[in-house]
Amino acid sequence: MKLCFLGTGTAGSKLMPEGTVPEGKRRCCSMWIDGDVVVDLSMQSFDFATKLGLDTSRVTDVFLSHTHRDHYCKATLLAYAAAAKTKINFWCHKDSLTRIGLTEEEAAVLNVHPIEVGDEWETAGMRVKALRANHLTPGGGQPLHYIFERNGQKLFYGCDGAWFCADTWEYMRANGDLDAMILEATVGDDAGNFRIGTHNTVPMLRLMLTAIRENGVLKEGGTLIADHIGGAIHSDKMVPLLDELGMIEAYDGLTLEI
């Protein structure tokens, strides 16, 4: 799988006017897989993909983790739909549709697929599993993590969500064998931060990664990627911490083969 990160920041980035991003700052969350799958739809995702010269007409499937505005922007979804050669499959939690707010006309240009925690299905030559994320969007549906399996490779995508919900962890422990994991590192090394109920700190990641490795959730030599990071790209504080954890720091424009 070839990953391309189009936005690796947190909710702070959405406050920038018209999605502009000052040098060294991160865009909101969005990622491509193999040039035809988009995960999360930040306000800057389509424009940045275009700027990077990516072929947006190839996109067939778009997955939404949750409806927070740093992950979902209707204009971005509709821009991908307009550029695509085929009618895009849009996958989102079943209770998020009100917040997603598509008119009948807008929904008609997409194949909208409401999904539930635990669903498993095939699309775009991938096997996909939706798992519960420990995150909160009151009135906006259950936030989801995903496992994407393509060409024998398995990728976990976990933005946003703190720690793991019990059912998600038990699924991963039983079915793990992941080639790569994308985990959020929103709060960095701020162990006392109030966000610990919905986001990860580095001390939490340190504990989680020990259990992930010792329980075979991640294959030996598998790739760990930190994403959804508050603050600047390549910050002097975060880089050594992520190095110590054996995690690659995602940044806007990073492409990675797993």
Residue 3 CB neighbours (<10 A): 23
Count of residues of this chain found to bind Zn ion when the rule CB under 5 A is applied: 3
If the CB atoms of residues 68 and 154 are measured against Zn ion, the closer one turns out to be 68
Whether residue 200 contacts residue 225, with contact meaning beta carbons closer than 8 Å, is answered with no
Interface residue with Zn ion among 40, 70, 149, 249 (CB under 5 A) is: 70
CB of 55 to Zn ion, least distance (A): 27
Q: How would you class 219 by CB atoms within 10 Å of its CB: exposed for 0-12, middle for 13-18, buried for 19 or more?
A: middle
If the CB atoms of residues 44 and 60 are measured against Zn ion, the closer one turns out to be 44
Number of residue whose CB is nearest Zn ion: 68
Give CA separation, 186 vs 10, 189, 218, in Å: 7, 9, 21
CB of 99 to Zn ion, least distance (A): 12
Q: Applying CB under 5 A, does 40 fall inside the site for Zn ion?
A: no
Q: Applying CB under 5 A, does 160 fall inside the site for Zn ion?
A: yes
If the CB atoms of residues 107 and 232 are measured against Zn ion, the closer one turns out to be 232
CB of 120 to Zn ion, least distance (A): 23
What residue type is assigned to position 245 of the chain? L
Q: Applying CB under 5 A, does 68 fall inside the site for Zn ion?
A: yes
Q: Point out which span in 14-22, 67-75, 87-95, 117-125 binds Zn ion (CB under 5 A).
A: 67-75
What residue type is assigned to position 48 of the chain? F
Rounded Cα distance, 250 and 132, in Å: 23
If the CB atoms of residues 61 and 160 are measured against Zn ion, the closer one turns out to be 160
If the CB atoms of residues 60 and 198 are measured against Zn ion, the closer one turns out to be 198
Non-local (6+) Cβ contacts of 63 within 8 A are 37, 38, 39, 40, 91, 92, 128, 146, 157
Non-local (6+) Cβ contacts of 143 within 8 A are 65, 66, 93, 132, 133, 135, 136, 137, 160, 161
Q: Point out which span in 38-46, 160-168, 206-214, 242-250 binds Zn ion (CB under 5 A).
A: 160-168
User: Tokens 């700027």 identify what position?
Assistant: 51
Interacting residue ranges for Zn ion, rule: CB under 5 A: 68, 70, 160
